[in-house]
Structure 1
Amino acid sequence: MPRMGRVVLPNYPHHIVQRGHNRQVVFMQEEDFRRYLADLKELKEVFGVRVYAYCLMTNHVHLLLEPGESMTGLGQLMKTLAARMTRYRNRLEGRSGTLWESRYKSSVVQTDAYLLACCRYIELNPVRARMVERPDHYPWSSYRARIGAEDGGGWLDCDPCYLGLADTEKERRVSYMGFVTQAIPETELKLIREALQRGQLTGNAKFIEEVERVAGRRVELRGQGRPLKGK
C-alpha cells in the first residue's frame, strides 16, 4: 500500500498515535507517565497546540491535538516530546538508540461528526485492552480530568463539540460520561482505525472534499471503501 504524505492543517484536530520501536515498552513506572504528561503540558504552550484528549499505554500513545496557525507546530511538538522521552529512558537504562518508531501516524478529524467520537475512542483504549473495566479506573488518559474526577486537568483544552454538549460544566461532564458509556458502532471503530492506519481522513465524503480544497491536493486513497456518512 503506498504511503501518503502526511496531511497537517492549521486549526483542525489531528488523531495521532506514536508507538515504541518494535512495540517495545515506553512507560514502565509512574514517573515515566508523569514525565511525558508534564512535557506535553509544557510543549503545548511552546508550540501553540491544543490538547483535546490523550491516552498513554505501555508501548504507545494516542493524542488528539489541534495546531494553531503554524503548519510546523504539531511536528515540532511530537519531535520534541519523543526526543525528551528517549533521552530520559536512555539515561535511566544506560543505553543509546531509538525509543519510538521513526514515523508517527496521524489523521485529520472532522470536528462536527467525529471529534467527540475520537475522544471516546482514545479514552476507551485501556478498556478495550482489558486493562481496566471502566475508563475512570485508568489514571493515564484524559478521561478522569475531563469528568472532574481528579485535580490537575486544567491544562486540557475543551474542544468545541464538548462545549456544545450543555450550558454548564457539570452538565457537560454528565452528558460526556453518558456518551462514553454507549456502545460504539462497529462502523465508527472501523473508520477511526483505518483512517489512522492509512493516514487518511477521519470524516465523511463532504469533509474529504473540504480538506482537499484547503490542502490543494488529493489526500484520500480512493478505492478503500466508502467513507462513513456524518452523524
Structure 2
Amino acid sequence: MPKPRSSQVSLEDTPFYHCVSRTVRRAFLCGIDNYSGQSFEHRRGWVEDRLLLLTSVFAIDIAAYAVMSNHLHIVLRIDSELAQAWTSIDVVNQWHQLFKGTLLTQKFAKGDAIESYEIETLNETIAEYRRRLMDISWFMRALNEPIARQANKEDNCTGRFWEGRFKSQALLDEAAVLACMAYVDLNPIRANMADTPEHSDFTSIQRRIKAAFKGLQSDVLLPFVGNERKNMPNGLMFDIKDYLELVDDTGRVIRDDKRGAIKPGTVKILNRLNIPLENWLKVTSEFKYLFKGPVGTLEELTRYCEHLDKKRIANASSCRYWHS
C-alpha cells in the first residue's frame, strides 16, 4: 500500500526531496499529442508560472525543475528555519496569498481586535498554516489543483488530470542532490525535446543559464553558494559555473548524435563527491529506474530508515554501487 507522506519526509535527515507528478487519461501538459494532433505547448507556461509563484509563498525553495509532455519533475528544499522565523501575521499573510483562510484569520490580517475567547483558536490555526507552508503535500496540491482545473476547462471534461499521488524521494546527501538535479535538468535532452541545456525550454537549467549570461543567479531558484564556510547562506554548496559545465558536458555525452565528453576540469566536482565518472553518467541517465526510494550513502540510508521506523533499507544495493 502507498505510504503516507509523513512516513517519507524526515527533516532531521534532509530538507531535499525529488517530486514527480504524472498526468492520466492520455492528458498532455505540453507538446503535441500525436494521437489528436493538438498542441498543448502553452500549458508549460501555466506550470512554470504557478511553480515559481509558490516559491514566494511557501517556505520551500526550488533547486531544479523540468516540465515534460506528461509529467513534471521538481527538486525542492524545505526551509523550516524560515517558516519558524515568520511572525503570526507573516504566516497569515503568506497563506492568504493562495487561500481565503477563515473569518478569524481574515479579521486578524485586517488588524481588527481579536476577542480573548478567539485567541486560542487563532493560534491553533496559525500553527497549522505554518506547518502547511513547509509541507510538500500542500505545496504539490497548490501546484497541481489549479493546473488540473485549467486543463479540464480547456479540454471540456471533468475528472482526474493528475495521478492520484505524486511521487517523492528523499535526497540524503549533496551527491544525491546534485545527481538528481542533473537528471532533472537533462530530461528534455534525453527525451530529444532539446539539443542543449540552454534550449531546454521551461526548465531550471535554462533559467540558470540565462541569469549566468548576465553574471547573476536566478532570483527564483535556490542559489549556488560555493564551498562550505563560516556564516554560510542558504543554498547549494557548489559553484554555479562548475554545475553548469557539468550539466552541459553530461548532456553532450548522453545525446547519441552528439560528440562530447566530460572535460578533465569538470571532473573535479565528481571527485569531490566520490562518484566515478561511469557511475555519474548512468545515474544522470537512469535515476528514476535505479532508485525507487531515498538516495544517499548506506550510512545515511540506515539513519533515515531508523528515524522513520522503517525495518527495510530501500535502495541499499543501488546506493552502494553508485558510491563505489
Q: TM-score range by the shorter chain?
A: 0.7 to 0.9
- Per-residue deviation, residues 78-118 of structure 1 (Å, max 9, x unmatched): 01211100111122222211111111111100232211111
Q: Cα 1:81–1:191, aligned 2, differ >3 Å: closer, same or farther?
A: closer
Task: Provide the C-alpha distance between the structure 2 equivalents of 1:124 and 1:222, rounded to a whole number of angstroms.
Answer: 23
Task: Provide the C-alpha distance between the structure 1 equivalents of 2:299 and 2:243, rounded to a whole number of angstroms.
Answer: 26
Q: Cα 1:175–1:165, aligned 2, differ >3 Å: closer, same or farther?
A: farther
Letter paired with 1:15: H
From 43, 56, 73, give the equivalent of 1:32: 43
Is residue 2:253 matched to residue 1:157? Answer: no
**Contact conserved, 1:20 with 1:101, CA < 8 A, in 2?**
yes
Task: Provide the C-alpha distance between the structure 2 equivalents of 1:223 and 1:203, rounded to a whole number of angstroms.
Answer: 9
Structure 2 spans left out of the alignment, 5+ residues:
31-38, 81-130, 230-237, 254-279
Other structure's SS at 1:40 match: helix
From 162, 175, 179, give the equivalent of 2:246: 179
**Contact conserved, 2:294 with 2:315, CA < 8 A, in 1?**
no
Structure 1 residues 111-190: aligned runs within 5 Å: 111-147=173-209, 148=211, 153-158=218-223, 162-164=224-226, 172-180=239-247, 181-182=249-250, 183=253, 184-187=280-283, 189-190=285-286
Quick check: 59-68 or 180-189, which moved more? Answer: 180-189
Identity percentage of aligned residues: 23
Letter paired with 2:203: S
TM-score, L = length of structure 2:
0.60
Is residue 2:162 matched to residue 1:100? Answer: yes
Other structure's SS at 2:138 match: helix
Shift of residue 229, structure 1, vs aligned partner: 4.9
Structure 1 residues 1-231: aligned runs within 5 Å: 3-6=2-5, 7-10=8-11, 12-27=15-30, 28-69=39-80, 70=131, 73-147=135-209, 148=211, 153-158=218-223, 162-164=224-226, 172-180=239-247, 181-182=249-250, 183=253, 184-187=280-283, 189-190=285-286, 192-195=288-291, 198=292, 200-218=293-311, 220-221=313-314, 227-230=320-323
Task: Provide the C-alpha distance between the structure 2 equivalents of 1:203 and 1:87, rounded to a whole number of angstroms.
Answer: 37
Task: Provide the C-alpha distance between the structure 2 equivalents of 1:73 and 1:204, rounded to a whole number of angstroms.
Answer: 25
Task: Provide the C-alpha distance between the structure 2 equivalents of 1:223 and 1:46, rounded to a whole number of angstroms.
Answer: 36
Indicate the RMSD between aligned Cα atoms, in angstroms: 3.0
Shift of residue 166, structure 1, vs aligned partner: 9.8
- Per-residue deviation, residues 31-70 of structure 1 (Å, max 9, x unmatched): 3212212211222232311110000001100000122334
Quick check: 213-222 or 9-18, which moved more? Answer: 213-222
Task: Provide the C-alpha distance between the structure 2 equivalents of 1:150 and 1:144, rounded to a whole number of angstroms.
Answer: 11
Other structure's SS at 1:140 match: coil
Shift of residue 129, structure 1, vs aligned partner: 0.7
Structure 1 spans left out of the alignment, 5+ residues:
none
Q: Cα 1:201–1:53, aligned 2, differ >3 Å: closer, same or farther?
A: same
Give the equivalent residue in structure 1 for 2:33.
none
**Contact conserved, 1:203 with 1:228, CA < 8 A, in 2?**
no
- Higher CA-based Rg: 2
**Contact conserved, 2:29 with 2:41, CA < 8 A, in 1?**
no
Q: Cα 1:187–1:122, aligned 2, differ >3 Å: closer, same or farther?
A: closer
TM-score, L = length of structure 1:
0.81
Q: Cα 1:165–1:138, aligned 2, differ >3 Å: closer, same or farther?
A: farther
Higher relative contact order (CA 8 A, sep 6+): 1
Give the equivalent residue in structure 1 for 2:101.
none
